[in-house]
Amino acid sequence: MTEKIPFDLVSPERLMLSEEADMVTLPGADGYFGVLDGHMPLITTLKPGVIDVTGGTLGDQRFFVLGGFAEVSPHKVTVLAEEAMPMTDVDTMALDERIKDAEEDVLLAKTEADRARAVDTADALRTLRASL
């Protein structure tokens, strides 16, 4: 039997989850990757996507993150998320409004950097909406 790996998910507001899991799947900058106990150490940025926590004591859980950073050591995973929400708490009407606002931000962006951020946010929110 494999060892569980401690996982902490921290949003700007609070510690959202502190759990031991069989596996944590993260939306890394270069694509999704799974983390098991004994994983090689790394630090990576996260793209918007879904974190899957498998085999935890509270059962399997899913969280949407809008980005952030992950620190992986052989015996712990820590995610510092820009914004995170449990997939079970997603309000589709509020999400549709955020998508509309993000699309307006794309049109109103004054610099290319602002436009790129707005496009990334709109795309991430559309991805979340499609995964519901």
Q: Count of domains in the chain?
A: 2
Domain span at residue 75 reads: 5-87
14 and 66 in a single domain? The answer is yes
How many Cα atoms are found within 13 Å in the side-chain-facing hemisphere of 29?
8
- Assign residue 43 the CATH number of its domain: 2.60.15.10
Within this chain, do residues 62 and 102 fall inside the same structural domain, yes or no? no
Are both 70 and 100 inside the same structural domain? no
Claim to verify: residue 11 and residue 40 sit in the same structural domain: yes
Residue 33: name the closest of 66, 79, 2 by CA.
79
The tens-digit pLDDT sequence of the chain (132 residues) is 579 999 999 999 999 999 999 999 999 989 999 999 999 999 999 988 899 999 998 899 999 998 899 999 999 999 999 999 999 988 899 999 999 999 999 999 999 999 998 998 899 889 888 877
- Give the pLDDT confidence score for residue 1 in this predicted structure: 53
Pair (41, 66) in one structural domain? yes
